[in-house]
Structure 1
Amino acid sequence: MIERKWIEQLISMALQEDLGERGDLTSSAILDGKEQGKAKIVARQEGILAGVEICRLVFNQVDSSVESQVLKNDGQFLSDGEVVLQLQGSLKSLLMAERTALNFLAHLSGIATLTHQFVEAIRGFPVKLLDTRKTTPGWRMLEKYAVKVGGGTNHRMGLYDMILIKENHIRSVGGINTAVQKCRDHLRREGITARIEIEVTSLDELKEALALTVDQIMLDNMSVSEIRQAVAVTSGRVPLEASGTITLENIREIAATGVDFISVGKITHSAPAFDFSMLVE
């Protein structure tokens, strides 16, 4: 659950970025603020909706008197031309909030839509699609929310809720064994409970990691053939996560290897914006 206070702070920063100190010069010049009207937000493509309540909050933060009616909820499939949200209130307020509201809606729906495409590509296999920490600064909670809306599963939220020993950590201390032991000692010393995952880049590293009885092993940038061998060597002893250069074109082949998880950074860092328009009626 994302705290409303945190979302409102993010919206406030976004509006300040757009309005600056002078506000909306165009709308202020054309409208005196007394004009009332209606508007609707319309989908211009097919996909999965995410962020409609946040969109509403943008309009209400600009003007609390703006009334809105949600016609589609997060997670629902949208067709081209479908109306998502109806609005009524000051036309000046509606126009001031328009771009910021659409930016939130377009970005989050874009993530949900791309996530859904990846999830559909691996349908039928007992594997989960994971996101990563490759997120827009300040937007992580929202972007990971959109991943869940699209049918994906959240990996760790940050550095604070799971140990993931990566290549640079291993190089820093001279080996996998030392890195894992140091992490276990730290958790014990601090009284912290957290899962431990190790990133490996070869079958030799995998065999070394398997001897350490960790919670999960990431197979980083391995070929499909190597992943298949890794699954055979592991034989179900530890959950395996495939990561690196995953695309819609190759994800199904990777899912067929028998891994438990596939992590894809693209669903948050490169999702195309969903096309929405606001039309004044």
Structure 2
Amino acid sequence: MNQPIRPVPAAAIDRILEFAFAEDNPRGDITADSIVPTGSVANAVVSAREPGVLSGGTVFSRAMKMINTDIEITQLIEDGQKFEVGAQLLRVQGPASSVLTAERVALNLLQRMSAIATATSQLVELVSQTKARIADTRKTTPGLRVLERYAVRCGGGVNHRDNLSEAFMAKDNHLALLGEGEELSQALKRVRSQLGHTTAMEVEVDRIEQIPAVLDAGVDIIMLDNFDLLDIPAAIELINGQAIIEASGTVSAQTVAAIAQTGVDIISSGAITHSVRAIDLGLDMVIA
């Protein structure tokens, strides 16, 4: 990555890890505690069994150290970097019993975050010759949003609003309660008059006929939701630079380039967080 990736606060990582270990290790590790010889030291590496983009090195490290601060982790490539099959990503050394106890939680998060970074990177590369940026959505795993959003950044994507409190975004079910045409426009204007000047206002439309009323309200962003590819240029012409244009729905590796080439500003994808398959990474002991 060319620019530093905004990190996740340590306290946020630790809250997730505390919950994860309470689930996975509530009363000790029966196997590791009973079979691993006292004083055994593990020397291990995390290796890639398929190509991808790394995300979650710090999370992996904090997971290991939450079980035992004597475990030492060396990250061999940076978050946001691509890796190939067989690449060594992290090196682990420390009390063997503790490494084995921490292994599953640490790897689960590293694998999921790297999968999201990889999926995001694929879309980013496919639109790299356009002005479009790839963004995530709120379709994240409950409790893991802060990590999954970081993984999107590792893949070169950008984040949508973090939560319901951060920005105004009226979607189809909101609009269904507000009416059409002038009625919709007036409702949005009332909202605009009540919001602070730093609060962004986005409205989702699923028909081109909705755009004039939304534009009249002076919103900041218009989301074209599930628009047919042939209808996007007409929507862009109608908006005519009066709002940021976001496209969403049916975004995939097969469709994203064509969507970007229409001239939209943002393409948001829920699939990069809700539909990824964990990258296959393994922690293997190094036998001297």
Q: What's the TM-score once normalised by structure 2's chain length?
A: 0.92
Spell out the pairing of 1:1-281 with structure 2 (5 A cutoff).
Answer: 1-21=7-27, 23-175=28-180, 176-187=184-195, 191=196, 193-281=198-286
RMSD across aligned positions (CA): 1.3
3-state SS, counterpart of residue 27 of structure 1: helix
C-alpha contact (below 8 Å) 1:129/1:264 kept by paired residues:
yes
Distance (Å, rounded) in 2 between the aligned partners of 1:66 and 1:144: 27
Structure 2 residue runs of 5 or longer lacking an equivalent are 1-6
In structure 1, what residue type is equivalent to 2:189?
Q
3-state SS, counterpart of residue 106 of structure 1: helix
Distance (Å, rounded) in 2 between the aligned partners of 1:139 and 1:182: 35
C-alpha contact (below 8 Å) 1:201/1:219 kept by paired residues:
yes
C-alpha contact (below 8 Å) 1:164/1:198 kept by paired residues:
yes
Distance (Å, rounded) in 1 between the aligned partners of 2:20 and 2:209: 48
105-114 vs 81-90, greater mean Cα deviation: 81-90
Query: 1:210-247 deviations in whole A, cap 9, x for unaligned?
Result: 22221110001110011121112222222111111111
Structure 1 residue runs of 5 or longer lacking an equivalent are none
Distance (Å, rounded) in 1 between the aligned partners of 2:216 and 2:52: 44
1:58 Cα deviation (Å)? 0.6
Identical residues among aligned pairs (%): 38
In structure 1, what residue type is equivalent to 2:210?
E
C-alpha contact (below 8 Å) 2:186/2:217 kept by paired residues:
no
3-state SS, counterpart of residue 137 of structure 2: coil
Distance (Å, rounded) in 2 between the aligned partners of 1:138 and 1:90: 30
Distance 1:237 1:192, change over 3 A: closer
3-state SS, counterpart of residue 242 of structure 2: coil
1:186 Cα deviation (Å)? 3.0
Distance 1:158 1:265, change over 3 A: same
Q: What's the TM-score once normalised by structure 1's chain length?
A: 0.95
